[in-house]
């Protein structure tokens, strides 16, 4: 079902997602995660939260990660 949704989204025009909406959804999921005892359920909710977060903030996170990796490589080379 999830794969069908992704395939449909790829076939359609680009959907603009508001960062406020993403922030609200991530906040709700994070609150839900705090109250879950099952590690398996927590894992799936954390993955969902991360996936939703990166719908809007993908470029920001990748730039920071790339910069951190570049810094680590420079330190190792020295």
46 in any annotated domain: yes
Q: Does some domain include residue 72?
A: yes
Where helices occur in 1-77 by DSSP H, the ranges are 2-11, 19-34, 39-77
Residues 6+ apart with CB under 8 A from 17: 55, 56
Is residue 69 in a domain?
A: yes
Look up the domain containing 61 and give its range: 17-77
Buried b (16+ CB within 10 A) or exposed e, 29-41: beeebeeeeeeee
Q: Which two tokens stand for residue 36?
A: 């879950």
pLDDT digits (tens, 9 = 90+) for 34-62: 999 999 999 999 999 999 999 999 765 45
45 inside domain: yes
Number of domains in the chain: 1
Share of the chain above pLDDT 70, in %: 58
2 located within any domain: no
Identify whether 43 is part of a domain.
yes
What percent of the chain clears pLDDT 90, i.e. is strictly above it?
50
Confidence (pLDDT) at 16: 87
Please give the model's pTM, rounded to 2 decimal places.
Answer: 0.57
């Amino acid at each position: 079902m999830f794969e069908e949704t992704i395939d449909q989204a790829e076939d359609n025009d680009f959907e603009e997602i508001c960062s406020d909406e993403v922030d609200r959804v991530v906040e709700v999921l994070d609150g839900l995660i705090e109250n879950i005892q099952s590690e398996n359920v927590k894992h799936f909710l954390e993955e969902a939260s991360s996936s939703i977060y990166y719908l809007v903030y993908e470029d920001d996170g990748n730039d920071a990660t790339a910069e951190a990796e570049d810094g680590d490589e420079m330190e190792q080379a020295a």
